[in-house]
Every structure is written in C-alpha cells, then in structure tokens.
Amino acid sequence: MNGRVIDTSPLAARPAAGRRQRSDGRLPRPWLAPYLFPALVVAGALLVYPLVQLARMSVSDVGTTTLISAWELVGLENFGAVLNDAAFWNAAKVTALLTAVLLVVDLIIGFVAALALTGRGRLIGATLSLLVFVWTLPPLVSGSVWKFLLSGDGGVNAALGMVGLGPVDWLSSPSVALWSVSLVAAWASLPFAILIIRGGLMSIPPDVLEAAALDGANAWQRATRVILPLLRPTLAVLTILLILYAFGSFNFVYVLTGGGPGDTTNILPFLAYQTAFRTYSFDLASAIAVLSMVVVLVLSVPYVLGVRKEQAA
Amino acid sequence: MIGRRTGLASKAFVLGLLVVYAIPLAWIALTALKSEELARAEPNTIFFRPTLETFRHTLEVASESVATSIKIAVAVTVLVLAVAVPAAYALARKVSARWSRTVAVLLGALLVLQMVPQPMAVIPLYQILAGWGLVDTLPGLILADTANLVPFAILLLRPFVLAIPGEIYEAAQVDGASGRRTFRSIVIPLLPNGIATVATIVFIMTWGEFVYATTLITNQQGLPVSGLLAQQTSMYSVEWSRLMGLSLLTSLPLLVVFLIAKRRLVAGLSLGAVR
Amino acid sequence: MHRRRRSRTLALAAVGGMLMAACGSGDDATEASDGLVVWYYFSGGPAEALEKQHELWAEAHPDVPVEYVQIPFEQLPSRLLATASTEDGPDVVLHNVPVDFPALAGAGVLADLTDYWNESEVAEQLPDNAAWRSDDKVYTVMSYTNLLGLYYNQNILDEYDLAPPESVTEFEAAMQTVAADGKYVPLAMAGAAGTAGAWNFMPLLLGRGVDYCNLEGEIVHEEFERLQRWTEQGFVPRDTSTWIGPDAWQQFFGGDVAFGINGNWNLGDARGAEWIGTARFPAGPDGSHVFLGGEGLGIGAFSDQQDLAWEYIETAWLSDEASLINFNTSGQIPTRTDLAEHQDLREDALVRPFVAAAGDSGAWPMNEQTAAMQQAMGAAVSAVISGQKSAEQAADDVIAEVADAREQGGSTC
C-alpha cells in the first residue's frame, strides 16, 4: 500500500523534458503539476466526498429516520432555521471571542517565547521538552487537570487565597467561564505555535541578522524590523491554522464546561457536534458547519490575497 | 553586548513558561501516583503515600497499544511528508501569473477541505473505506489520518519553501539541472527545519487522534493509545489515576520523537544571533 | 424452543436464498457461527459485570465465541450509524436508551425484536416498560436500570441531628441547617448543560406531576425558582453548573458534603464507606419519581444471526443469574420483577431505595426529539445555577424550546 502511494510521487513522474524548449529566450518554466498530483489523489479520494456529503446534508432533510435513506432536498431551509436561532448567534459570538484570545496569546506570547527559546542551554532545552510533552497529552487529560485547578476549591483559588484574593468562579461564572476556557485552549495550543514559529526563525539565513546587527539595530529593532517581516508567511499560516483550530475543535469546552454555564461557552464546533450527535439533526449541524466554513474562508481572504501578492513579487 | 537586560528578561520569561506548564504536569503525575480511591476522594491533596499500582497496570495494558500507535504514526508521517513536501514545493514556486492564481485557489480549497468537522466526516469516510475493504484495518486508519493531515502539512510547509531564495532555482537551471533534480538535490536538502518541524507535529497529532481511531477501528487488540485513553471515561465514572498514568506513559515515546527531531533542527542563525 | 427452531429455519432459508442469488459465492451456509460481536461503551464496574455474565454464555455455548468491542460513549452512535450505511454492524449493541433510542430505532440500525419479546419465556419476567418501542415495535430491551437516589453523609447528619429527608420540604430544611453552620456544603448534584443537568433536575418536576410531555405552567417556574434559591442560599456551589455525574460524586465522596444526588452505579464506592447512606429522591406532592436510565440491549439490523443474538441476550443478560451477577458486581438494578424481592436486593440497605424507586418511575417522552428536549432542559438548569438566567427566564425559555422540539418530533409523547 505504502509503496504504491509513494510511487505516484513526482519523483517518478514525467520529466519536464518536452517543455524545455521555450522560444522566448528565458529560462524554461518548471512543470509543477506532477508535484501536486499525489496531494490531489489523496484529496480526491478521501476528502472531497465527505465535503460533498456535508454540503448535500446542509440543503436536505436529514434526521434520524432519513440518515441512511435518500435525502429530500429542501433548499436553504436549514440555513434559514440556523440563522434564525439565537443559539447560533450566541455560538458565533462566543467563538469570535475564543478565537481572538487564542490568536492574541498564541501569536504574541508564541513569538516572544520562540525568540527566547531559540538559543541553546539546559534551561531552554528543558522548557522546550516540557512544552512539547504537555502538548502531547490528550485534551481530555490536560483539560481535566485545569478543571480541577480552576474549580471553586481548586489550586488556583487556593493560591489566590494565600495572597488575600478571590475566590473566583473560574468555570461557573457566566462572565468569567469563557475567558477561562479560552485561556486553557490557548495554553494548550501555545506549544504548537512556538514550535512553528521557532522552526521559521531557525530558517532565517544568519547573514541577514548579522547584517542587521552590524547596522547597529538593537534586539527589539531586529525582532520587529527584520525578523517579523521575514516570518510573515509563517505567521500568516499560523494565524489561519489557529482560526481553523478555534472553529473546529471543542475538546476543551467539552471537558471544562460542556458548553455551560448555560450556553456561555458553547462555541460553534460544539454546537454543531451537539446538534449532530446529541439531537441527531444532521441537516442543521451541516448547515452550521458550512456557515463556519464560510466565516473561515472570509477570514482567510487576506491570507489568500497575500499569497497572490507574494507570488507576484 | 546586546543587552544583558534582554538576556535576563528572556530567562525570566522562560522560567515563567516552565512554571505554567510544569504545575499541571506535576498534578497529573501526583494523581497517577494515587490509588483510584484516593484520587476520587481527595483529588487536591499533595500529601499521601504514593503507589506504583497504576503504572504497573498501565505498562501491562498499554504496551501493545503503544506498538500500534508507533506503526500508525510512522506510516502516517512518512505518507504525509511524501505527499505534502512536493505539493508545498509546487505551491511555493513563482512561475507565472496564472500559476499564482491557481495557487491562491488551491490554498483556499485546502482550507475548505481541512474544515469538515471530523465527527461528521466519519460516516462518508467509513463508506469509502468499506468500499475498498479497509474498514477495521490499520491501512484504512492510516489512509484516513493521512488525508486528514495532508492539507494541514502542505499549508505549514509552504512558508519553509518560500524562504528558499529564487536565485537558487535560477542557478540550478543555468547549471542544467532537471526539475526533478532541482527538487531532490537542492530543495529537499534546504528544508531540514520545515520537514523536521512538520514531521514532529504530524507524528504527535496522529498519536493523539481518537475520533477516527475509535470509529474506523473496533478490533480491541488493534486499538492505538488514543483509543485506549478515550475508553477510560464513561458517563458513569472516570478512573482518574489510571487515565493520568496512562497518558503520562503513552506520551513518553513522543518526547523521544521530539528530542530526535530537535536535533535535526539546524539553526539557520548560527550561534543564535538573537540571544 | 419450538418457535425458536422455526425462526432459525426461516433465517437459514433466507440466507440460503441470498446465497443463491449471489450465485453461491462459496461461503459456507452451515449453522456454525464464527461468533457474536457485542458493542458497549461503559467501563469500570459495569464492564466487570459484563465479563462475569459472559461466563454464563460461554458455558451454554462453548462453540460460539463473543467478541466484545468497547467504543467510547460519544462515538458509539456515530459508529453504529456509519456501519448501517454499508449494511454492516454488530450482532448485539448496548446503547444509551433514554437519549439514543428514537434516533437508533428510527435510523433502522436496530432489528425488530417484537416477536422475540412476545414469545420469550425469560422476557415474561420483565415488566412491559423494560421493552422500548417505536411504532409499536420493540427494538430494545433493558435487563437492568440505572436511576438517581439521594446519598447522604451519616456523620454530617448526626452532627446536626438530622434524619434522612423524605420530602422536598424536609430536604430543604435539612440543607438549610447545614448551610447555616457553613462548615459543610449541603448538596452535590450534576447541573451541567446537557443531559446530566436535565437528569438531576427533572425529578423535582416529576414530583409535581410534570414531565416533558406536559411541561408548562406555574409549576415549572416554581421549581426553577427553587433551584435558584438553592444556589443563592449556597445549598449548591456555583460550580454545579458545570458538573456532570462523576464530578458531583467526586465532591460528595470527598466527605465534606451532606447530600449527593447520584446514581446507583456509585454503590460500589458507597459500600466501601460506612458513613454513606441512601434514600429515595426527596418526594414532591406527587411522590418521588425519577427517570429510568441505563443501557438497552438491541440486535443489529444487519446481523445475520439474530436468533443467536437473542439467545445471547436471554442467557447473558435477561436471565435471573445474569441479572444477579450484574447487580452484585456493579450495583445496577435488575428490571426482572421476580428479583425485586430477592434476598440479595432486599438485604442490602443501600440498594433498597433504588429498587423501590425503579418501580415508580417517570415517563420518558416517546418522541424523536427527546434528546433535544433534554438538551434544552440541561442548558436551562445550568443557566439558573450559574446565575446566567433568572428562574423566570429559564423556565419560559425551556417551556418554549421543549414545545418546539416536541412538535418537530411529530407531537407524539
């Protein structure tokens, strides 16, 4: 199996021989399609069909009794129902805040941490290993730990109590719970952000930085004027991936609050999941998922435009 | 020279990070050292007589799952890289205006494909794999995980390819290197950081994936670590000690993977000019 | 016996016909089974019980092995629905009846058990409500049930000279006493948005004659106000709004909480702590009623050995031996009426309230949207406990949402 898939890689694909003689006198353009071929095969075989089914469900009547029979087309009815539901708008609002917290924490702290963790030394090595180790723990476990630590009589309140503060209902106060959940989600994804940014940092050619240092730039100037612009593609992708993560993953909501108290932490992916697998309205859930996709696509317009610009450059 | 103050601040920052991640980890380790009853009755206590019972039990049940997980994660990582590295290369080259438009469209498409919620992809995926006779088999799960991570890996790898200066391609062409040779002997050797970073992340994410692992595989002997962990809770009870112990032990192999990958991360900035 | 043989012959004929249609693809159509596949999701005590019950089957049918497949709770329905799309699936499945039944039965993934149920001698010992029906056909049977009761901490009750409460009024007075001293938390219950919160709160409504089918009016408001009072007066900590059953149990089991509303599946823990006592859920004017939960046994719609599967269900689950093994191992209450007076159940003081409650349960709505109703109720409960919504608001909202869901599910109840 593995062998066959690897065989379709461009290494075995048709060489660009025939394309070499271009008459415009410029160097021949490489023929790139074969390099995309394996990815297209994988996507075509395993990713497109689920997407098509999702889209179909979102415009059909699919409930428990109809799931495995033929679906009746209902047009945009499901979207109408979802958009008229206060629960959807609440979830959209909640998701927006969680995404914002995630982005701010992961990008800013992630960048600073990646800079701080690029050097050598025992402390840095140990911290990196610890971060990665914690990141690999299943969300069920790391989330449960925070549920204990943030509970009314948990460790965080105990620590606050020692300095005469609190207690705070971290997970059960309607005004605080979403912040707690967002911060835990950010805490959990920060190691990922650090790894990505650090990988990007280490790929920056050293002479660029040396040149900047010779020009007398201080650490702050180098970070903001030299490194950040060079990391732009990496940070752009990371931003998109974090948005995807916020719109697609609900593990921490599930473990920490179950969407509560009330509906204050019920983010879109959790709402979609509940709608599909707790109340078995696959059609409405698909509509929610499709709407989330549209939002993410809109949010990634700058990224895609940026791609065109950098391609043109 | 460049700021003893910066160095100090950076050290303090790293220490802060260390604490924020070490405390929850310590809590997990403590719980794993408690008996199940104690973990339930006094989850917050830190004074108790530790028992290795959990770890003993864990070693017994987990070794087979760890082997399965290693098989799956290695296969998925290799497959994902085999598919994503060339694709990321193609999507990062600048050849013509038309190609740039194609790239923008394809990246958008990758984002969309990435977004089908995993639980909702289970049913159609199951149908596809059943058609190929791959349900309840490791290859089936490996294919599903690969497909799940390929768009993600392409997006992540692309910036690394972008960082390769255009002059390098020109030089290669002037030297008469074929497209294939350029890719194999010039591009790939310039991507150690990208490949190491993405491989680590893909490996770790595959290790933790449990939605496909528990729905596309039901053979109890063939359950990977993530599936085993997902089984530890039910609506009736949670076996905290066991859950924590299991998650600690089964994350250890990942630490090894990371340490290996870390060594492959070649500092582009030799001697760390950002110190 | 006769009947069973006849239906097996019929099944064989059917299989034979299919084989002929498939041009005799060469598979052997002999009676030898290569085993049964059973799906379940629980762990801990109930899973231990399952292993022991299997011994009964292994003795009766040493030639038919059973493969037990544990699928995580959250994944079981989707996995089952997925296999159905390819006409595949387990022979027997234990699923979460109160929530999943209408969906699974409606989706056609469960086989019709009506004939087995009507003709089985073993099944005669079970009450009629142990069979779950959709469109008058039986799709699931319950050999045991799980339900809520009131756990109390005898030490704390002694300290304040309190007796285990029988009515809601007594219960509130007791909690008042405990709260006034401030030394202990009065009550640990589940109040998370989701089925857990609904499951814990509904008995208050059931005790006043209100269930999902007639959910409206002043009584609903009053009971939500009661819940709001419980939070405001500190009877339940605010964290209750995010607790599911195991969280609440953890709190109670820690020893600093006077009362715990929780299920009989914790009896295993409780037996190990001599300071724990049990009572029925405090009664309202209409008596004490709780919902019956637990797993139901269904046969996969695409199983080609349904007779054998039913035999397995009878032997390893419905039989008196199996029920008692299950009870003694995991504390799950047998549904068999002839066991209610069995000494194992009678002599265990901790269990008695649960056994009594099993015979006096509330009625689940027979509606396709039952899960949506429970979700709405859970969200309202969590909202009131946390203070996100006033009792007034939450009651209005949940009445409207449940009515909506009921209508969407075809108005049956």
pLDDT tens sequence across B2-46: 456 677 888 899 999 999 999 999 999 999 998 887 887 777 778
pLDDT at residue A12 is higher than 50: no
Of B42, B210, B230, the CB nearest to C254: B42
Distance between CA C301 and CA C308 in Å, rounded? 13
Q: How far is CA A155 from CA A39, A168, B77, C121, C390, in A?
A: 47, 11, 38, 57, 30
**What value does the mean pLDDT of chain B take?**
85
- Domain C148-289+363-408 top-level CATH class: alpha beta
Which has more confidence, C128 or A7?
C128
Can you give the pLDDT at residue B235? 67
Which percentage of chain A shows pLDDT scores above 70? 90
- Note if the bond before C62 is cis, omega within 30 degrees: no
Predicted confidence (pLDDT) at residue B86 exceeds the cutoff of 80: yes
Task: Tell me: pLDDT of C31 over 70.
Answer: no
Question: Is residue A206's pLDDT more than 90?
Answer: no
d(CA A231, CA A228): 5
A173/C103 touch (CB, cutoff 8 Å), yes or no = no
Describe the crossing of helices A228-248 and A268-277 by its angle, rounded to 10 degrees.
30
Domains and their CATH numbers in chain B: 61-264 (1.10.3720.10)
Mean pLDDT of the region B265-270: 49
Mention every residue, 6+ apart, whose C-beta is less than 8 A from residue C324.
Answer: C334, C339, C342, C344
Contact (CB<8Å) B104/A308: yes
Chain centroid to Cα C203, Å, comes to 14
**Interface membership of A130 toward B (CB under 8 Å):** yes
Q: How far, in Å, are A289, A290, B112, C296, C385 from residue A295 at the CA level? A: 10, 9, 11, 41, 33
pLDDT tens-digit map of C56-114: 999 999 999 999 998 888 888 888 888 877 888 899 999 999 888 988 888 889 999 99
Please give the Cα distance from B173 to B181 (Å, whole number). 10
Strand partners, A119: none
8 Å CB contact of A278 and C382: no
How far B214 CA sits from the closest chain C CA (Å)?
A: 6
Whether residue A61 lies within 8 A of chain C, CB to CB, comes out as: no
Domain ranges of chain C: 34-141+295-331, 148-289+363-408
Distance from CA of A174 to the nearest CA of B (A): 24
Dist CA A113 CA A123 (whole Å): 13
Residue C276: alpha-carbon gap to chain centroid: 23
What are residue C117's phi and psi, to 5 degrees?
-65, -45
Summarised one tens digit per residue, pLDDT across range C306-326 is 999 999 999 999 999 999 999
Residue C26 has pLDDT above 50, yes or no: no
Q: What is the C-alpha to C-alpha distance for residues C75 and C87, in angstroms, rounded to an integer?
A: 18
Helices (H), C192-244: 195-206, 218-232
**Rounded distance, CA A77 to CA A129, Å?**
50
B160 touches chain A (CB under 8 A): yes
Average pLDDT, chain A: 85
Task: Read off the pLDDT of residues C180-233 as tens digits, 9 standing for 90 and up.
Answer: 999 999 999 999 998 999 999 999 999 999 999 999 999 999 999 999 999 999
A264 touches chain C (CB under 8 A): yes
Indicate the average pLDDT of chain C: 89
Question: Average of pLDDT values for C265-279?
Answer: 90
Q: Does B213 touch chain C (CB under 8 A)?
A: no
Give which of A195, A203, A204 is closest to A222, Cα–Cα: A204
Tell me the C-alpha to C-alpha distance, in Å, between residue B267 and each of A117, A213, B272, C19: 12, 17, 7, 66
* CA distance to A53, A59, A163, C263, per residue, from A159 (Å): 50, 52, 7, 34
First to last CA, chain C: 37
Tens-digit pLDDT profile for residues A47-80: 999 999 999 999 999 887 777 778 899 999 999 9
Q: Identify the pLDDT of residue C30.
A: 39
Residue of C344, C291, C202, C72 lying closest to B210 (CA atoms): C72
What is the C-alpha separation between C402 and C378, in angstroms, rounded? 11
CB contact at 8 A, C360 and A146? no
Residue bearing tokens 């969300």: A139
Q: How confident is the model at residue A4, as a pLDDT?
A: 35
Among residues C295, A285, C371, the alpha carbon closest in space to that of C379 is found at: C371
Q: Are A133 and B29 contacting, i.e. CB atoms less than 8 angstroms apart?
A: no
Interface ipTM > 0.90: no
> What is the pLDDT confidence band of residue C258, given thresholds at 50, 70 and 90?
very high
pLDDT of residue A82: 95
Rounded to an integer, what distance in angstroms lies between the CA atom of residue B107 and that of residue B86? 14
Interval C154-178: pLDDT, tens: 999 999 999 999 999 999 999 999 9
B121 with A43: Cβ contact below 8 A: no
Contact partners, residue A158, CB within 8 Å, separation at least 6: B44
Please tell me the distance from the alpha carbon of residue C3 to that of residue A161, in angstroms, as a whole number.
71
pLDDT at residue B14, rounded to an integer: 93
Structure confidence by residue, pLDDT tens digits, B9-18: 888 999 999 9
Residues of C with CB under 8 A from a CB of A: 74, 77-78, 81, 84-85, 99, 102-104, 106-109, 192-197, 237-242, 244, 247, 368-369, 371-372, 375, 379-380, 382-383, 385-389, 405
Residues of A with CB below 8 A from C192's CB? 257-258, 260
CATH code of domain C34-141+295-331: 3.40.190.10
| Backbone φ and ψ of A201, nearest 5° | -60, -40
* Residue extents of the structural domains in chain A: 1-75, 82-312
Q: Which residues lie closer than 8 Å to A31 by C-beta, 6 or more apart?
A: A14, A16, A19, B179
State residue B266's pLDDT score.
Answer: 60
| Own/partner long-range contacts of B226-233 (Cβ < 8 Å, ≥24 apart) | B226/A138, B226/B69, B227/B65, B227/C72, B228/B61, B228/B62, B228/B65, B229/A138, B229/A140, B229/A141, B230/A138, B230/A140, B230/C72, B230/C75, B231/C43, B231/C70, B231/C72, B232/C43, B233/A140, B233/C43, B233/C72, B233/C73, B233/C246
C132: β partners: C140
**Do C34-141+295-331 and C148-289+363-408 fold alike per CATH?**
yes
- Show the tokens assigned to B93: 């080259």
Specify the residue for token string 């670590």. Answer: B225
Residue % of chain C over a pLDDT of 90 = 69
Burial of residue B95, with CB atoms counted within 10 A of its CB: 0-12 exposed, 13-18 middle, 19 or more buried: middle
Gyration radius of chain B over CA positions: 23
pLDDT at B116 over 50: yes
Cβ–Cβ below 8 Å for B40 and C250: yes
The reply to whether B214 touches chain C by the CB within 8 Å rule is: yes
Token reading at C310? 């039913």
Inter-chain contact A36–B96, Cβ cutoff 8 Å?
no
Whole-angstrom distance, CA of residue A298 vs CA of residue A288: 15
Q: Which CATH superfamily is domain A82-312 in?
A: MetI-like (1.10.3720.10)
Q: Does A261 touch chain C (CB under 8 A)?
A: yes
User: C15, C304 in Cβ contact below 8 A?
Assistant: yes
DSSP state of B183: I
What phi and psi values does residue C216 have, to the nearest 5 degrees?
A: -170, 170
**Per-residue pLDDT at B111 exceeds 70:** yes
User: Of the given ranges (A12-21, A211-220, C247-256), which has the lowest mean pLDDT?
Assistant: A12-21
C-beta of residue C377 within 8 angstroms of C-beta of residue C364? no
Q: Which two tokens stand for residue C205?
A: 């409504």
Which of C40, C42, C74 is the best residue to mutate to test the B interface, defined by the most B CB atoms within 10 Å of its own CB?
C74
- The answer to whether A148 faces chain C, any CB pair under 8 Å, is no
Distance CA A309, CA B162 (A): 13
Which SS3 state, helix, strand or coil, does residue A72 take? Answer: strand
pLDDT tens digits, one per residue of A123-167: 988 999 999 899 888 888 889 899 889 988 888 998 898 998 878
Neighbours of chain A (3+ CB pairs under 8 A): B, C
* CA distance to B54, B197, B234, B263, C378, per residue, from B260 (Å): 29, 11, 36, 5, 48
